[in-house]
Amino acid sequence: MAPPTDDDEVDLGISLETVATVVDQARAIQGTEESDPEQLSEDDDSEAALLQEDPDDMTEETLIAFIDGLNQDEQAALIALAWTGRGDYGPEDWDEAVRLAIERNEQMGAGTYLLQMDMLGDLLAEGVAAFGLSIEDIER
């Protein structure tokens, strides 16, 4: 899909800054979960040591609370972006994906649902990219 023009810009229903925050935190949590404490060496600067959870890092619970604190439209947009990034829907199906995400969101909190997805950060980034946008360009 070609990048949207000013006249054809899509409204995702959520700011790219919010999506970028969720992507960054999901990737950080996933990196923490994937690191093996037994790989820690005496070097505190090793990759494994740097990936270990720091008390100041966002935890899965705080990310779930952050997502659940968003309004219903923003939560549905995150779910629809993840589905789009996974290939379940294309940009042309956006309205249907959001509608179904709202219905799905009535069954379980959006935060819990999204954090159950493998590679959530990458799925969201791919979903945004499907619209010709990039979260990598967002200042954080």
Quick: pLDDT tens for 77-122.
999 999 999 999 999 999 999 999 999 988 889 999 999 999 999 9
Could you give the CA distance from residue 27 to residue 25 in angstroms, rounded to a whole number?
5
Residue 27: pLDDT over 60? yes
Residue 46: pLDDT over 90? no
Could you give the CA distance from residue 57 to residue 28 in angstroms, rounded to a whole number?
8
Q: Model pTM?
A: 0.77
3-state SS, 16-49, equals HHHHHHHHHHHHHHHHHHHCCHHHCCCCCCCHHH
- Please name which of 111, 7, 127 lies closest in space to residue 60, comparing C-alpha atoms: 111
pLDDT of residue 107: 82
- Please name which of 61, 101, 67, 103 lies closest in space to residue 81, comparing C-alpha atoms: 101
Could you give the CA distance from residue 52 to residue 26 in angstroms, rounded to a whole number?
14
